[in-house]
Amino acid sequence: MIYAELQQDTLAWQRALKFAGMYRGKLDGLTGPLTREAAAQWRESHKQLQTRYGRLDKRTEDNLLTLQPLAALKVRQMMTALRALGDWRLICGLRTYDEQDKLYAKRPRVTNARGGQSMHNFGVAADVCLFRDGVDIWAPSEGPNSIYKPVAVLARQLGLVWGGAWRTPYDPGHVQLGELSTATLHHAYTTGSATLAQLL
Ligand SMILES: [Zn+2]
């Protein structure tokens, strides 16, 4: 989900704002002054990161702005470094619960995760892809010549978890902030009982 769409889905938007510690109201799906105030705070924190690290390509920015600011800081640092090496773009940031459920229903199957079971549902994970001549290179190559080597190196330097270290599934374009369980994140995210900063 890109940033412009996220703001149209009030409940998903409130959950993101609450998890960032910016929204003090209820998760009721109704836009009011508290939602707008928190939204302004979200925009401001992302703007500060843009000013500090520089604006990236549109697709990357559209996805970066959906991430929790704590995750966006590190993912943006990684993207800035990757951009110096090639046409790396962010192709996925936050995926709302609705989006995840739709993805889950797809046949042939593309994911085993329902809404609330993917790290992407909480704005703490992102997928990066290398483009060549405007086309994304999907083939995940392993071994010493893997195109994902710089992603692995940067993720380690920045303290991000890298999906290329996994075997089920091997996911070298995936990075995430921390190794919290999806159950813990799901509970906090949907009830508003804790912010990301409190969980980390
Ligand atoms: Zn991912």
Q: Is residue 182 part of a domain?
A: yes
125-132 and 135-137 strand pairing = antiparallel
Amino acid at residue number 138: W
For 149-176, the pLDDT digits (tens) are: 999 999 999 999 999 998 888 899 999 9
Q: Is residue 200 part of a domain?
A: no
For residue 140, pLDDT over 60 is answered with no
| Domain span including residue 46 | 3-193
How far, in Å, from the CA of 175 to the mean position of ligand 1?
A: 7
Q: Is residue 67 part of a domain?
A: yes
How far, in Å, from the CA of 141 to the mean position of ligand 1?
A: 16
How far, in Å, from the CA of 93 to the mean position of ligand 1?
A: 8
Nearest to 89 by CA among 126, 140, 48: 126
What CATH number is associated with residue 60? 3.30.1380.10
How far, in Å, from the CA of 104 to the mean position of ligand 1?
A: 14
* Number of domains making up the chain: 1
Q: Is residue 116 part of a domain?
A: yes
CA separation for the pair 35, 151 (Å, rounded): 35
Which residues, in sequence order, are CB contacts of 92 under 8 Å at separation 6+? 63, 120, 126, 127
User: Which of 26-40, 107-121, 140-154 has the weakest average pLDDT?
Assistant: 140-154
How far, in Å, from the CA of 106 to the mean position of ligand 1?
A: 17
Checking 20-23 for CB contacts under 8 A at 24+ apart, the result is: 20/45, 20/68, 20/69, 20/70, 20/123, 20/195, 20/196, 21/195, 21/196, 21/197, 21/198
The stretch 92-111 carries a mean pLDDT of: 94
Taking ligand 1, which is a single-atom ion, which protein residues have CB atoms under 5 Å away?
Answer: 127, 174
- pLDDT, position 41: 98
Q: Are 130 and 147 in contact, with CB atoms under 8 Å apart? A: yes
Nearest to 69 by CA among 98, 38, 100: 38
Q: Is residue 199 part of a domain?
A: no
**For the stretch 3-34, what's the b/e string if a residue is b when 16 or more beta carbons lie within 10 angstroms of its beta carbon?**
beebbebbebbbbbbbbbbbbebebeeeeeeb
How far, in Å, from the CA of 41 to the mean position of ligand 1?
A: 26
How far, in Å, from the CA of 45 to the mean position of ligand 1?
A: 23
How far, in Å, from the CA of 128 to the mean position of ligand 1?
A: 8
CA separation for the pair 131, 109 (Å, rounded): 25
How far, in Å, from the CA of 33 to the mean position of ligand 1?
A: 33
For 52-97, the pLDDT digits (tens) are: 999 999 999 999 999 999 999 999 999 999 999 999 999 999 999 9
For residue 42, pLDDT over 80 is answered with yes
Q: How many residues does the chain have?
A: 200
- pLDDT, position 48: 98
